[in-house]
Amino acid sequence: MKKIFLFDLDSTITKEEILPSISKSINKEDEMRKLTEMTMMGEISFEESFKSRVDMLKDIPVSEVAEKISNISLNQELVKFLNKHKDICYIVTGNLDVWIDKLMKKIGMENNYFCSKASVSNNKITKISKILQKDEVVAKFKDYIVAIGDGSNDYKLLEKANLGVAFGGVRNIAPSLLEVCDYAIYDEKRLAEFLERLIEE
Ligand SMILES: [Mg+2]
C-alpha cells in the first residue's frame, strides 16, 4: 500500500522552534519561550497559545519574519528525505502560510504543505483566518499514513496516523506523544534511515 509521510515542522524539520527564534529579534524571547514550552507540554491549548504568540510578533513586517524563518537551521537528513520522496511527503504545521512560504519554497515543499492561514495588509498580519488542526490532514488521504512529530500538538496527528513516530533529536519529546507513538527515535540520521526502510517494505 502506498505510504504518505506527514512531517511536523518545528523541531522536527527545523533545529529550533521557529517563533521563539523570531522573538529573539524583538527581545520577547523569554515570554515566547515560556508560552511555547507550556504549549509543547500540553499545559495550554495550541489555539490559545498560537494566537498569543502571533500577537507578540504581529508588529514585525511579514516579509521580515518570512525571511528570518527561511534562514532557520534545518535537519538536513530529513530535508534530503523530503526532496527524495517529494511525491509522498507533506509538512503539517500550525505556523502561518505567510510566514513559512519562503522556507517551504527553499526546501522544495511549496506544493506539499498544510498550515494555518492569515490575512495580511501593508505587510502586517491583520487576522488569523484558519488555525490548522493537524489531524484533519490525515483524513485527506486514503493511503497508509506515517506521521512524524515531537510536540503535544502532534498528538492527534500521530494518534490518527497508521504509524506514529516521535522524534527527539532536537528537544525532548512531549510526554503525551510518547504515550501515543509507535516508535520514538532520537537521532536524525536514524530517523531518516528508518523512514527509508518503511518505503522499501
Ligand atoms: Mg514540533
Q: Which of 120, 131, 128 is nearest to 60 (CA)?
A: 120
CA 110 – ligand 1 centroid, Å = 19
Residues in the chain with pLDDT < 50? none
At 13, which CATH number? 3.40.50.1000
pLDDT for res 25: 80
pLDDT at 57: 92
Ligand 1 center from residue 7 Cα (angstroms): 9
* 166-201 pLDDT, tens digit each: 999 999 999 999 999 999 999 999 999 999 999 998
CA of 8 to the centre of ligand 1 (A): 6
Distance from residue 14's CA to the centre of ligand 1 (Å): 8
| Dihedral, CA of residue 17, residue 23, residue 27 and residue 30, to nearest 10 | -40
Q: What is the DSSP letter of 74?
A: B
- Supply 73's cell numbers: 537551521
Cα(53) to centroid(ligand 1), Å: 15
Q: What is the CA radius of gyration of the chain?
A: 16
What domain range is 23 assigned to?
3-200
The total domain count for the chain is: 1
What is the Å distance from ligand 1's center to 101 Cα? 17
CA 168 to ligand 1 centroid distance, Å: 10
- CA–centroid distance, 125 to ligand 1, in Å, is 23
pLDDT of 1: 83
pLDDT for position 193: 98
CA 193 – CA 199 distance, rounded (Å)? 10
Helix (H, G, I), strand (E, B) or coil at 147: strand
- Bridge partners of residue 95, in order along the sequence: none
pLDDT of residue 81: 98
Distance from Cα 167 to the centre of ligand 1, integer Å: 9
Compute, in angstroms, the gap from residue 10 CA to the centroid of ligand 1. 4
Q: Residue 15: beta bridge partners?
A: none
Alpha-carbon span 72 to 22, nearest angstrom:
9
| For the chain, the helix, strand and coil percentages under 3-state DSSP, each to the nearest 5 | 50, 20, 30
Predicted model pTM: 0.94
Please give all residues whose CB falls under 5 A of ion ligand 1, grouped by chain where several chains appear.
Answer: 8, 10-11, 150-151
